[in-house]
């Protein structure tokens, strides 16, 4: 195995750097609210990785991914709301007893598991309908767009069950033996989960399964003629992506100690798209670095010029699309690729020269060349 250090792609080094930065961040003496925000950003990294699997690797652009994220968040949110009987927003609506279908959520682990399985099941349901039909990719994007809009309206409308516009507050950081985890402890829990998800996705994307996903993105019709059923692969990828999105919601809500409809809307879904587009899609690193850059830019910019930051974000996105379509990390990977293959590309040019040179001289001798062959 000549897996020398030089062979490791450059972006994996950047991943390690990013995770080291995340791990030492609380020790760098930043104010607590900065550390709290970084905790949310790390949860968002898991969310961005889940969408990169779907969009970056498999080419399925979802504009409603935040709905799956929200399913995770709301499950754990409801869990902590119903710990001691019907919460205020229910009693106000005249529901004094916790509805039966919410009862199982009272138990933290059950809520966590439901927060993972619900988005996965929903992804399989949606995937079954869309991927099995002969419909082009753009319809998937439109359906998920509609999904995000309707989910937001639905949750906002169910005042009695989801506390509507003001969302669910008081989400604790997974109390173990009675006491919720300290902020710093929870920070490292989220960081650990993020690293685990990252390692899992490295395995997934390097496996043949991941390569099939990439080939589906590159040329889905061709893949069928190699014996693969792309619909099955896409449903499984969408399910995994849904699972991880649910997980990121389950990590995010306690870090934020609340979850509102803003976090599951079209804006939230498209915001994570921008993070991946700026970072670069289809290599995981882009999702990590993109989320770190854009989330922090959003916070720092909106502190300085609250009204302008969205304008600046729009302009940045336009610049990236026109001048760096494959994103920051994509650009770096391309540079490494062209260095690495410079040698073998010379071989192509050489082989091309000798091909054309050969065909040059054989052009003069076209006659004898032709006959000598048919005789054989």
Partner 1 sequence: MATALLEVKNLSVEFSGFKAINNVNLKIEEGEVRVLIGPNGAGKSTIADLITGKTKPTAGSVFFKGVDITGKSPDEIAGKYKIGRKFQGPNVFDNMTVYRNIEIALSGYTTVWKSLFYRRTTEIKKKIKALLEQIRLYEIRDVMATELSHGQRQWLEIGMVIAQNPSLIILDEPTAGMTAEETFKTGEMIKELLGEHTVIVVEHDMDFVRQIAQTVTVLHQGRVLAEGTFEEIEKDPQVIQVYLKDD
Partner 2 sequence: MVSVTSIFQNIVSGLNTSALLMVAALGLVIIFGLMGVINMAHGELMMVGAYVTYYTTYVLHIPFLFALIFAFLVTGLIGSLIEMLIIKSLYSKPTETLLATFAVSLVLERVVYLIFGADTKNVPMPIPGNITIAGITIPNYNVFAIAFGILILLLTVFIFQKTSFGKKMRATTQNRSMAECLGIKTSRVDTWTFAYGSGLAGIAGALIAPTISVSTGMGSPYLTESFMTVVVGGVQSVIGTAFGAGIVGEARTIIGGLSSAVTAKILVFLIIIVLIRIKPQGLFAKERR
Q: Which one among 105, 216, 266, 288 touches partner 2, defined by CB under 8 A?
A: 266
Q: How far is CA 291 from CA 294, 326, 370, in A?
A: 5, 15, 62
d(CA 349, CA 347): 5
Q: Which one among 158, 196, 224, 300 touches partner 1, defined by CB under 8 A?
A: 224
Report if residue 270 touches partner 2, rule: CB under 8 A: yes
Q: Are 329 and 283 contacting, i.e. CB atoms less than 8 angstroms apart?
A: yes
Identify the CA nearest to 245 among candidates 98, 30, 373, 64.
Answer: 64
CB of 226 to partner 1, least distance (A): 5
Q: Which one among 325, 348, 351, 365 touches partner 2, defined by CB under 8 A?
A: 325
Strand partners, 168: 259
Q: Which one among 207, 219, 229, 310 touches partner 2, defined by CB under 8 A?
A: 310
**Based on CB atoms, which residue is closest to partner 1, 92 or 222?**
222
CB of 55 to partner 2, least distance (A): 9
Restricted to residues 36-75, the positions that interact with partner 2 (CB under 8 A) are 61
d(CA 373, CA 376): 5
CB of 123 to partner 1, least distance (A): 15
DSSP 85-149: SS-HHHHHTT--S--GGGGGGGSHHHHHHHHHHHHHHHHHHHHHHHHTSS--HHHHHHHHHHHHH
Report if residue 344 touches partner 1, rule: CB under 8 A: yes
Q: Are 46 and 73 contacting, i.e. CB atoms less than 8 angstroms apart?
A: no
Strand partners, 259: 168
Among the candidate windows 99-107, 110-118, 298-306, 350-358, which touches partner 1 by CB under 8 A? Answer: 350-358
Identify the CA nearest to 286 among candidates 296, 274, 298.
Answer: 274
- The rounded Cα 152 to chain-centroid distance in angstroms is 20
Total site size for partner 1, rule CB under 8 A: 40
Among the candidate windows 8-16, 250-258, 271-279, 342-350, which touches partner 2 by CB under 8 A? Answer: 271-279
121 binds, among partner 2, partner 1, none (CB under 5 to 8 A by kind): none
Residue written as token pair 């590309």 = 345
Q: Are 210 and 218 contacting, i.e. CB atoms less than 8 angstroms apart?
A: no
Question: Which residues bind to partner 2, rule: CB under 8 A?
Answer: 61, 126, 129-130, 132-135, 137-139, 141-143, 145-147, 149-150, 153-154, 157, 266-267, 270, 273-274, 277, 307-308, 310-311, 313-315, 317-318, 321-322, 325
Question: Which residues bind to partner 1, rule: CB under 8 A?
Answer: 207-209, 211-212, 214-215, 218-219, 222-230, 232-233, 236, 337, 340-341, 344-345, 347-348, 351-352, 355-356, 358-359, 362-363, 366, 370, 373-374
């Amino acid at each position: 195995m000549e897996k020398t250090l030089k062979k490791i792609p450059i972006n994996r080094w950047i991943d390690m750097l990013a995770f080291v930065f995340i791990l030492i961040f609380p020790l760098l003496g930043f104010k607590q609210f900065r550390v709290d925000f970084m905790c949310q950003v790390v949860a968002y990294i898991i969310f961005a990785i889940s969408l990169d699997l779907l969009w970056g690797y498999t080419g399925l652009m979802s504009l409603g991914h935040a709905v799956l994220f929200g399913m995770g968040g709301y499950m754990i949110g409801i869990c902590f709301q119903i710990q001691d009987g019907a919460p205020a927003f229910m009693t106000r609506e005249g529901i004094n007893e916790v509805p039966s279908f919410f009862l199982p959520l009272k138990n933290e682990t059950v809520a966590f598991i439901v927060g993972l399985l619900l988005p996965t099941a929903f992804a399989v349901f949606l995937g079954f309908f869309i991927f099995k039909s002969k419909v082009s990719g753009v319809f998937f994007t439109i359906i998920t767009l509609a999904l995000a809009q309707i989910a937001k309206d639905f949750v906002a409308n169910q005042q009695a069950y989801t506390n509507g516009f003001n969302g669910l507050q008081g989400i604790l950081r997974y109390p173990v033996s009675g006491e919720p985890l300290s902020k710093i402890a929870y920070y490292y829990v989220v960081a650990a989960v993020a690293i685990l998800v990252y390692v899992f996705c490295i395995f997934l994307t390097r496996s043949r399964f991941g390569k099939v996903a990439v080939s589906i993105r590159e040329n889905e019709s061709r893949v069928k003629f190699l014996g693969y059923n792309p619909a099955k692969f896409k449903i499984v990828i969408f399910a995994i992506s849904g699972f991880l999105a649910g997980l990121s919601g389950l990590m995010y809500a306690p870090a934020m100690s609340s979850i509102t409809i803003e976090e599951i809307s079209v804006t939230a879904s498209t915001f994570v798209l921008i993070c991946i587009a700026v970072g670069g899609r289809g290599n995981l690193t882009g999702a990590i670095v993109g989320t770190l850059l854009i989330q922090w830019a959003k916070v720092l910019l909106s502190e300085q010029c609250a009204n302008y930051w969205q304008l600046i974000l729009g302009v940045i996105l336009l610049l990236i699309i026109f001048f760096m379509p494959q994103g920051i990390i994509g650009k770096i990977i391309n540079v490494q690729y062209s260095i690495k293959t410079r040698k073998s590309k010379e071989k192509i040019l050489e082989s091309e020269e000798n091909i054309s040179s050969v065909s040059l001289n054989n052009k003069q001798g076209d006659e004898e060349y032709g006959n000598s062959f048919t005789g054989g």
